[in-house]
Chains A and B, each alone.
Chain A
């Protein structure tokens, strides 16, 4: 019996040796290593390219006009500022559905400060502070009260939005002085026809990607989402990491809300509401799985780009607006199928 085991082991060894001889480690092939490290993001990029190609073939002429891209580049940044922090939340194993109300709440504070005659820069700081406080509130509620983040943040979304509605009674705030301000020039004007907010959004995405991959915060977010028990045993303050993730969403939502108000010169009590589903879809189209531990910031950004282009693309391709939802759904389902095939889940 031991002979059988012995020969079996040797057989296993010789094949293993052969495999080892033929094997070249990914680090010896930089391109291969890059592809392996960025599978999910590259998959999302593939989805985007295929989708755009389909639209362009349908109506090549429209896609040569700059206006089409300009309109997407105006609204995309707002989504990017919330999609990116949500990648962190989903990676940590939680979800946050309260960001639309946080967007509305923080931009309301921004509008109040500007309307009272103060500098828009002060308004931005006030909005950021509001976002941090609300994020902290939502985070502590979920983490320390031990509530399900799915339900608790849904509740917080209704609660905060309700507060906004009760106090404003549906009235919007026009910010007429905003267009002459420095803040507007820096954050919301156009440079050579390109909306300037896209540069801020790209900078934010790059910063967040570094935070995710090259910073202790990102490292701990992934570990907490992967194996909280182990993280606890190794001395990571799991609860505090989770709270920080919700604070990050608060910050992103505050920036997003403020940008959206600056683009429109007007604050509406519904500000941010329309972003809930497209932003969530972007995170998952981007290749961040639902089970926590892994995620991709760049993928999420490309996911947001994809989702932003669906509506414009469908109409530009010559289809009626009634097709938009259908294509939204199609892209989401196809992306999920693609990611499932593309990404292995390790247990």
Chain B
């Protein structure tokens, strides 16, 4: 694919004697959707927090566009263009779409007065960019009137406004119906088409399977599998693999793709 946007090399994270991550290697290319799958406790959230810079890894290296970055923290993460959208606490639901998109970065002119017209037109441009077009909602609609999928769209539009290169979506479809999930997928595809990358996190393989170009399966703090979409026949195959990881006993058809460290266990 294109240039490597971000790469994690041998990242470990231990809380006391407990290892949450035990040497994770993992990268995201420009313009791809990576699906990060793993059971509860697999280390997904630790990995997200490390990417966002709010948790420091115990050891390992983080490279942005091939360059190692020292002293990784939240500011470095933001500078690298990583924006995390948390599932439920991201939006102020009693405010308008405009106010949410420009939250903390209001477009102001003289003495802090808002440039309302400019904000509205910029917000509609962002909404169009991610394919969030509706006759029902305008940038001045209240977020609380939107459905769950549409709310994810607002959060994604905000991340794009913040010049994000990699948008991390934390379980974006977990609580959503089929139609709402389809909306989120639509936004994600639009974002990918604009050359940005998405890290799509979920524990429901069926959700992640449809949207991702590449899968990273995390298990007990290690990458158990990295596979391109074209190498995986179906979601069921991935599920079988994950079951085989949980209950070792071999997996037909995917041995080659499985990472060697796991095959030896």
Contacts and interface: CB of A to CB of B under 8 A. Distances in A.
Partners in one complex: yes
Interface of A: 5, 9, 12, 20, 23, 25, 27, 210, 214-217, 219-220, 222-223, 226-227, 229-231, 233-236, 293-294, 344-347
Contact of A227 (B92, B108, B114, B134): B92
B4 interface: no
20 contacts: A9-B178, A23-B136, A25-B135, A25-B136, A25-B138, A214-B116, A216-B108, A216-B112, A219-B99, A222-B94, A222-B95, A223-B92, A226-B92, A229-B89, A233-B86, A236-B103, A293-B92, A294-B94, A346-B143, A346-B144
A230 B136 contact: no
Residue from the set A219, A220, A294, A347 with the largest chain B CB neighbour count within 10 Å? A219
A227 B140 CA distance: 18
B104 interface: yes
A219 B95 CA distance: 9
B185 to A, nearest CB: 14
Chain B: interface residue count, which band? Answer: 20 to 34
Interface string B152-192: 00000010000000000000000000110000000000000
B142 interface: yes
A75 B179 CA distance: 57
B113 interface: yes
B230 to A, nearest CB: 24
Contacts of B86: 233
B140 A27 contact: yes
Nearest to A224: B92
Nearest to A6: B178
A346 B94 contact: yes
Interface of B: 86, 89-95, 99, 102-106, 108, 112-114, 116, 134-136, 138, 140, 142-145, 158, 178-179
A346 to B, nearest CB: 2
Contacts of B135: 20, 23, 25
Contacts, number: 84
A219 B114 contact: yes
Contact of B138 (A27, A215, A294): A27
Contacts of A210: 113
A234 B105 contact: yes
B104 A235 contact: yes
A22 B159 CA distance: 33
Given A230-B103, A231-B103, A20 B136 contact: yes
A215 B135 CA distance: 28
Given A214-B113, A346-B144, A346-B145, 17 more contacts: A25-B135, A25-B138, A27-B138, A27-B140, A214-B114, A216-B113, A216-B114, A217-B112, A219-B114, A220-B104, A223-B103, A227-B91, A227-B93, A230-B92, A230-B103, A236-B104, A293-B95
Interface SS of A by simple majority: helix
Nearest to B114: A214
Nearest to B86: A233
A210 B89 CA distance: 28
B117 to A, nearest CB: 11
Given A235-B104, A236-B104, A223 B99 contact: yes
Contact of A231 (B102, B104, B138): B104
A235 B103 CA distance: 8
Contacts of A230: 89-92, 103
Nearest to B119: A219
Contacts of B142: 346
A234 B89 contact: no
A344 B94 CA distance: 10
A337 B108 CA distance: 38
A41 to B, nearest CB: 16
Residue from the set B91, B94, B99, B112 with the largest chain A CB neighbour count within 10 Å? B94
A226 B94 contact: yes
A234 B104 contact: yes
A3 to B, nearest CB: 13
A20 B136 CA distance: 7
A219 B92 CA distance: 11
Contacts of A220: 104, 106
A210 B134 CA distance: 30
B179 A9 contact: yes
